Amino acid sequence: MAAYILRRLLLVIPTLFGILLVNFALVQFVPGGPVEQIIAQLEGGGDVFEGFAGGGGDTGTEIVSANENYAGRQGLPPELIKELEQQFGLDKPPLERFVIMVGNYLQFDFGESYFRKIDVTDLVLEKMPVSISLGLWSTLIAYLISIPMGIRKAMRDGSPFDTWTSGVIIAAYAIPGFLFAIMLLVLFAGGSYWQVFPLRGLTSDNWENLSLFGKIGDYFWHITLPVVASTIASFATLTLLTKNSFLDEIKKQYVMTARAKGLSERKVLYGHVFRNAMLIVIAGFPAVFVSVFFGQSLIIETIFSLDGLGRLGFEAAVARDYPVMFGTMYIFGLMFLVVGIVSDLMYVLVDPRIDFDKREG
């Protein structure tokens, strides 16, 4: 097992290199870069910082502070454009820039945001708690509800309980995440009906003044709607996956043999079927976690005004803030690969008979 884990860890480096290479190459063909963003701002073509969480202030306006009174209609001098390119490091050939970036990333040096004037690592750590809150709570709730319900549906396959729960699950899965999130806001955040939960943010303005239990309650009060909205799709998938996995195992010969020996239904289910049926559910853990943590975070964070990694990555892409773009991409990719390795370790914990070294041999 140790040799298998070592091989997987060694594959992380070329995989991350490939992710960075493909995306770096694509960026070279996308029109508009950080220099063009600054030029557009100077010429009155729009504010690159508009709409940013906590925008304004010290988000990099010092880059153009010396040119606030510049008459954009007269055109920008080539010297200023060249100076901006040097400031962003865009005066070097693409290959040289890529090699420098990869070397820095291997040392976890992601540079500084072009427009926020904050180290990318500090920026990611600042936004991380929001995304972790959404990802962990949504995944935990999805598993705690989906696995027992899936087992119950498998044991009562074809019953009225199985039929109506399947209808509810499929209907919930068919609702787009952003639409469900908006519906929750309208119903429970003072949109048109009840003001039960807050409209935005992860904590209240007076959070620092609250007691310990007050802070815990305030946190869960704010996180309830975003977590429910991000859990709905993964909940449906996991429930049906668990049910089908258990149905496949229940029909196998070893289950019939165990029942013939006089074992109780509970012992058959949890002593024999559970271990085998849960393998495929555990295998889906990385996909569930990544889909919540990365895939849905942008929509949920935007709708509920949460300042997390999904929103940070989107704003960086719009503003062509390359250090933040590639830094978050690198971190996301690394986390995805590590979670995949953890998933394999969980395989072994559930069923020690699995030996990845022999399978590869």
pLDDT tens digits along 312-357:
888 888 888 888 888 888 888 888 888 778 777 777 776 666 666 6
- Tell how far CA 327 is from the center of its chain: 14
Q: What is the mean pLDDT of residues 90-110?
A: 87
pLDDT score at 295 = 61
Q: Tell whether the model's pLDDT for residue 57 goes beyond 70.
A: no
pLDDT at 59: 43
CA 22, CA 17: separation in Å to the nearest integer?
Answer: 9
Distant-in-sequence, close-in-space partners of 103: CB < 8 Å, separation ≥ 6: none
**Predicted confidence band of residue 358 (pLDDT cuts 50, 70, 90):** low
Helix (H, G, I), strand (E, B) or coil at 44: coil
* Domain spans in the chain, listed from the N-terminal domain onward: 2-118, 121-360
Task: Please classify residue 161 by burial: count the beta carbons closer than 10 Å to its beta carbon, then call 0-12 exposed, 13-18 middle and 19+ buried.
Answer: middle
The CATH topology of domain 121-360 is MetI-like fold (1.10.3720)
Instruction: Report residue 66's pLDDT band, with 50, 70 and 90 as the boundaries.
Output: very low
Confidence of residue 293 (pLDDT cuts 50, 70, 90): low
Closest CA to 304 of 208, 221, 237, 233: 221
| pLDDT over 80 at 181, yes or no | yes
Following DSSP, what letter does each residue of 56-107 receive, concatenated?
STTSSGGGSGGGTT--GGG---HHHHHHHHHHHTTTS-HHHHHHHHHHHHHT
pLDDT score, position 97: 87
Whole-number pLDDT of residue 43: 65
Model pLDDT for residues 208-257, shown as the tens digit of each residue: 888 888 888 888 888 888 888 888 767 777 888 888 888 888 888 888 88
Let me know: does 110 contact 323? Beta carbons within 8 Å.
yes
**CA atoms of 102 and 111, how far apart (whole Å):** 12
Per DSSP, 292 falls in state: I
Residue 60: pLDDT band by 50, 70, 90 thresholds?
A: very low
Per-residue pLDDT band for 64 (boundaries 50, 70, 90) equals very low
